[in-house]
Structure 1
Amino acid sequence: MSYRATRRTLIAGTPALAALALAACSEDPTGPVLTADADLPTAVPSATKLVVGDPQNQVAYEKSGLVKQLSFEIEWANISGGPKTQEAFRAHSLDIGSVADIPPIHAYWTNLPTKIVAASGRLDPLEHPIYDLGIAPGAGITALEGLRGKRIAYSPGQAQGALILRVLDKAGLAQSDVELIELPSTADTYSNALAGGEVDAAPIGGTQVKSYLNKYASDGATTIPHGLRDDPWVLYSPVEVLEDASKAAAIAEYARLWGAARLWTRANKEEWINAWFVEHEGLSYEDGEYLFDREGEPELPEDWDETIARHQETIEILAEGTGNDVIDAGDLYDRRFEPLVAAGVQEYGEAGAP
C-alpha cells in the first residue's frame, strides 16, 4: 500500500471496509444527498476530501500508520476548541472537529445544526480529571462550599464554563451566590488571573496545574478537586456535511479509526510523548510524561446510552444557568456512527496499529 503526504494533505490507500459503492458519484467531489434515516455508505468515492480539525489525533494517525487506511484526501486544519471550530463550520471551511461536549450544545442554541459522530472519555475519570480548581493565594477556599461570595473565572459556551456551573450545582450554590468573571479560557489566562488576584478560583488543566503550583504555591496558591466527570470528548460535524453522502462515508471511515489511534498513543508512551508533547507542543519530556500520566486510559463506549444520559444532565444545568431552552441530548448524536469506534478497535487491536 502506498500513499503520498504533503505538509497539510495526506492521501492514502483503501481500507478493509464493507463494500457499499456510490458509483453514481465516484468522480464527483460532492456526493448525493444522504437523508438522516439512510444507512451510511461505506465506500468513499475517489474524489472525496475532508477538512479535519483534530490536531492531536492528526499526529496519532500519522505516527501510528493508521493514516494509510484512509481512502480519501484529508486536509488537516490546525483548529481546536469550540469557538474556532464553530467559526470554521459557519464559514464552510471545516468538515469535522474534535471538542468537549459543550460546543455541540452551544451550536444547537446558536442555530448551527451539528451532530456528534464519535464519543470518548477517560477510564477512572475522577482519578484522571482534565481540570482542577485553581485557588488564588489568600482566597482561603478549601472545599467547593467555600466558593460562596468568591470571584470565579467563567467562559460561557466552553467546557470550563460548563464545569463551573456544574460545580456550583454540586455545592448547592446559585450564580447569585458568587461573582462570575467572564474571561476567555485561552493559554495561561486563568492562571495569570489567579496569580494577579483578578479571580479567587478558576478551572485549570494540563500543564497549567503543574506550572501554577510551581510558580505560586510558595505564595499560598493551591488547587482542589471538583469531584465531577469532566472527560467527555467528541467528534462532530455540521448536518449539511453529513447530508453529503461522499463526505458522510469519509467521516465514517475517520471515526472508525479514531479509537484505535487513541489506543496507539497509550501503547507507545515514549514515541507519543516525543511526537505530541515535545515536538508539537514544545513541552519538556518531563511535562509530557506528567500530562500522559494525568490523562489515564481512554474510555471508548460501544453504546452511547450512558454518554447521552450524562450529556442530558449537563444540558439541563447549562440551560438553567444560561436561560436557554432544555434540549434532548439524543438530538445531538447521529447514532448511525455509534458502532464504528468499537469496530475499528476490534479490527486493529488495542495497540491501535494496523
Structure 2
Amino acid sequence: MRTLPRAAAAAVTALLALTACGDDAGTTLELTAALPDQVADGAEIRIGDPAIQAILGASGLDKELTDAGISVEWANISGGPQSIQAFRGDKLDCSAVADIPSLFAAWTGTSTKIVFQSVIVDPINNPIYQLGVAPGAGVRELADLRGKKIAYSAGQAQGALVLRVLQKAGLTRDDVTLVELTSTGDSYVTALGSQAVDVAPIGAANVKIYKGKYPGGSAILTGIRDDASTLYCLTKSVQDAEKAAALKVYVGVRAKALLWQNANPDGYAQAYLQKVQGLSAADAQDVVAVDGKKAIPATWDNALTRLQATADLLAEQQDRDKLDVSTLVDRRFEPVEAAAAGSDVVSGDAA
C-alpha cells in the first residue's frame, strides 16, 4: 500500500481536523487540533472582561488586537451567574471569572473550557477575600464561626471559599446557618451592615470601605489561598476555527495586560477603578494598596490540582456529580499565555 510523504500526511491530518459546518457557520476546529495562527479578516469575539478591557485601552495594547484584524464586542459581564446566563443565550463567547463558574457550568449542562489562568504572586498575604464580620457579631477567629449566619452563594467563588473555611475550622454546615445570597455589587457588604448575616466573604480591597461605612464592622483573614482567576469560554467558541485564532491572540495580549497592571498601578486605578467602577481617587488607591501582583503560571498543573480538590469538596457538600476537571480546560492556550509573559512566568508552589 502506498503511503503519503510525511509533510503531505501532516497536511491531510490538519485538513481533517477542520470540517465544514455549513454555509452560515464557521469551520469547526477539533479540540485536539493545533490552534490556528492565521486570523481571518473581521474575526469577532464577544468577551466579558471589564478590567482587561480598561487596561487594554489605557496601555495601548488594544492596538495588538486591531492590528491582528480582531474585533472585540465587549460585554459588561463578570461573575458566574451572569456569564452562564449569557452563554446559554449564546450572547457571549468568553468571560473572566474565578474557577468555580466552570464547575457549575458543567453541572448545569453548559459546556465551557478554561483558556487562561493567572495567580497572585503571594496569595496568602494578598488574599482576594477576607471574611467581613457584622458589627457586634463577635467573630475574631475561624473557631468563632460556630452558630453564625454566613452569606453563601453555591455557584460563586465566595460560596466555595465558605465551605473551605468551614473545613479548615473543623466545622460542618450543620454548625452554622448558611444564608443563600448571591454576591452582586455590594450585596454582601449591605447584608453585613444591616446584620442580616454575621459573616460574609468580601473583597479584601473593599474591607476599608466596609469598615468606614459601617462603624463596628471588621474583617478577619481566612489563611486560605483564593487567588484562582480564569477566562472561560463556550466550548463551541473554541471549536470555531475563526474564534479560536482570535482567542489565541487575545490570550497573549491578556497576559501582557496583567503584567502592565503590575507595573502601572496608578494607571490601572484611574482607567478601571475610577472610570469604570466609579471609585474615588482615594478609594482606588486603597484598593491598589492591597491588590496582589498578578502572575502567569508556567504550567496549569498546580491550578488544576487545586480546582480538582475544590470540585471534590463541592460534589460532596452540595450533592453534585464527581467531575474530572481536566475536561474543563483547553490546555492548547497554556503555552500561549506563558510565551507572552516570557521571563515573568512563575513556577513551583507560587503557581
What's the TM-score, normalizing by structure 2?
A: 0.88
* Distance in 2 separating the partners of 1:310 and 1:144: 21
Q: Which of 55, 61, 64 lines up with 1:66 in the alignment?
A: 61
Equivalenced residues, count: 326
1:11-47 Cα deviation digits (max 9, x unpaired)? xxxxxxxxx999999xx98431111111111111113
Q: In 2, are the aligned partners of 1:257 and 1:345 still within 8 Å (CA)?
A: no
Contact 1:188 1:208 in 2 (8 A): no
Listed one character per residue, the Cα deviations across residues 128-175 of structure 1 (whole Å, up to 9, x for unaligned) are 111110111221111111111111010110011111011111111111
Given the superposition, is the C-alpha separation of residues 139 and 105 from structure 1 closer, same or farther in structure 2, using an over 3 Å criterion? Answer: same
Match of 2:150 in 1: 152
User: Which whole-Å CA distance do the structure 1 matches of 2:97 and 2:244 have between them?
Assistant: 19
Q: 1 CA distance for matches of 2:132 and 2:239?
A: 43
Q: Output the CA distance in 2 between the equivalents of 1:80 and 1:154.
A: 18
Rounded to whole Å, the distance in 2 between the matches of 1:23 and 1:126 is 44
The SS at the match of 1:49 is: strand
Aligned with residue 97 of structure 2, among 96, 99, 109: 99
Q: How does 1:49-198 map to 2 (within 5 A)?
A: 49-70=44-65, 71=68, 72-198=70-196
d(CA) in 1 for partners of 2:106, 2:86:
15
Counterpart AA for 1:41 = P
Q: Structure 2: how far apart are the matches of 1:30 and 1:46?
A: 15
4+ residue segments displaced more than 6 Å:
20-25
Q: CA RMSD in A?
A: 2.1
- Measure, in 1, the Cα distance between the counterparts of 2:134 and 2:317: 24
Q: Which residue of 2 aligns with 1:33?
A: 28
CA contact (8 A) 1:30 1:246 kept: no
1:266 aligned onto 2:268: no
Q: C-alpha distance in 2, partners of 1:112/1:95? A: 12
- In structure 2, the partner of 1:10 is none
Q: Is the 8 A contact 1:154 1:181 kept in 2?
A: yes
CA distance in 2, matches of 1:243, 1:148: 47
SS of residue in 2 equivalent to 1:264: helix
Higher mean C-alpha displacement, 164-173 vs 287-296: 287-296
1:291-330 mapped onto 2 (5 Å cutoff): 291-330=287-326
Distance 2:195 2:75 in 1: 36
Determine if contact 2:132/2:201 at 8 Å carries over to the other structure: yes
Write out per-residue CA displacement over residues 84-105 of structure 1, whole angstroms, 9 at most, x where no aligned residue. 1111111111111110110000
Shift of 1:207: 4.6
Alpha-carbon separation, structure 2, partners of 1:291 and 1:224: 17
Query: Is the contact between residue 298 and residue 338 of structure 2 (CA under 8 Å) also seen in structure 1?
Result: yes
For 1:43, what is the secondary structure of its paired residue?
A: coil
Once the two structures are TM-superposed, the CA of residue 206 in structure 1 deviates from its matched residue by: 4.8
Paired residues of 1:116 and 1:234 also in contact (CA < 8 A): yes
Residue aligning to 2:7: none
Q: Structure 2 CA distance, aligned partners of 1:138 and 1:68?
A: 51
Query: What does 1:201-350 correspond to in 2, within 5 Å?
Result: 201-217=199-215, 220-346=216-342
Contact kept in structure 1, 2:130 and 2:204, CA below 8 Å: no
Q: Displacement, 1:270?
A: 2.1
Structure-2 change in CA distance of 1:176 and 1:311 (3 Å): same
Q: Which moved more, 1:200-209 or 1:108-117?
A: 200-209
CA distance in 2, matches of 1:112, 1:239: 9
Aligned to 1:157, what secondary structure does the other structure show? coil
In structure 2, distance between residues paired with 1:310 and 1:24: 36
Asked if structure 1 preserves the Cα contact closer than 8 Å seen for 2:147 and 2:177, the reply is yes
Could you report, residue by residue, the CA deviation over 1:169-191 in whole angstroms, capped at 9, with x for unpaired residues?
11111111110001121122212
In structure 1, runs of 5+ residues without a counterpart are 1-19
Please give the alpha-carbon distance, in whole angstroms, between the structure 2 residues aligned to 1:237 and 1:207.
27
In 1, Cα distance between equivalents of 2:74 and 2:223: 35
